[in-house]
Amino acid sequence: MSKSPNTERKVTTAVFRLKKERGEPLTMLTAYDYLTARAVDQAGIDSILVGDSLGMVMLGYENTLPVTMEDMLHHCQAVSRGASRALLIGDMPFMSYQISPAEAVRNAGRFLQDAGMDAVKLEGGEERLEAVEAIIDCGIPVLGHLGLTPQSVHQLGGFKTQGTNADAARKLLADAKLLDQAGCFGIVLESVPDRVAEYVSSQISIPTIGIGAGAGCDGQVLVTHDLLGLFDKFRPKFVKQYALLYKEIDAALGSYKAEVESGEFPKAEHSFSISDEEWALFLHQASES
């Protein structure tokens, strides 16, 4: 299968700002492999996020913390081979940007140089501002991430909704303004009350991409495996399943097993043939060897 033939105009970070100005919703989905990236790109989705959520969805971890730079780069490379139109964003994993701004810049650069990404995403507000500014100063676009930040799951006390009281909502707004001023091209708002997310979106110049943050954001993102019903361990409240492919896959695999065991598969149409003459010659030669 060849690289996606999508010849529509490449989505850039400038498109994000333009869509916010026009009031046009942005669409974003995750992808971690070539085939999914190709499908998402062909669907005309604005942006593909290679999220560190691949730790749970693809690698079977309980959270995103064990995901490494090498894991991320490997999956980003596959996605970049499958998509040509969507803006590609690589998620910076735990401890790839927290140590120092210099380390953050080095790792961010690898997403563009080694993995074909157009931008990077990292979690945190004021406490990560120095790293964000250093990355942007090097010409690397940054997507912020506030609210429920999975890499801080232990500090947050679990996967809990954020910004649910006045003080927390005020901190969220302040962080969003700092990321806007620092030059981020957008901010993911995860698991935030809808009224808070809508207000924050109205107070900054860059678009917000919501996941569990209501309809007042400037765009939406979901994990594609959740959207397709491929991930059966749990379903977050904010996920709408547009298909239930896990059940279809389960049924297909069961049918395959049953047909192989019964002799129903494979049939003649699934097999290759040899001419009678060549078969007779083979048998003759085999009998003499």
Report, as residue numbers or ranges, the catalytic residues: 190
CB contact at 8 A, 27 and 220: yes
CB 69 within 8 A of CB 113: no
DSSP assigned state of 211: E
A 10 A CB-CB count for 123 gives: 24
262 burial (CB, 10 Å; 0-12 / 13-18 / 19+) is exposed
Give residue 96's identity as a one-letter amino acid code.
Answer: S
Q: For helices 194-203 and 166-182, what crossing angle results, to 10°?
A: 30
DSSP 24: P
Element (H, E) at 28: strand 26-30
Strand ranges in the chain using DSSP code E only, listed in sequence order:
26-30, 47-50, 87-91, 119-121, 142-147, 186-190, 208-211, 219-222
d(CA 155, CA 147): 13
List, in order, residues 6 or more apart from 289 with CB less than 8 Å away. none
Which has the closest alpha carbon to 130: 142, 115, 119? 142
Quote the tokens at residue 129.
Answer: 């501002």
Quote the CA–CA distance of 208 and 220 in Å, as a whole number. Answer: 8
What is the greatest pairwise CA distance in the chain?
90
Q: What are 228's two structure tokens?
A: 């397709």
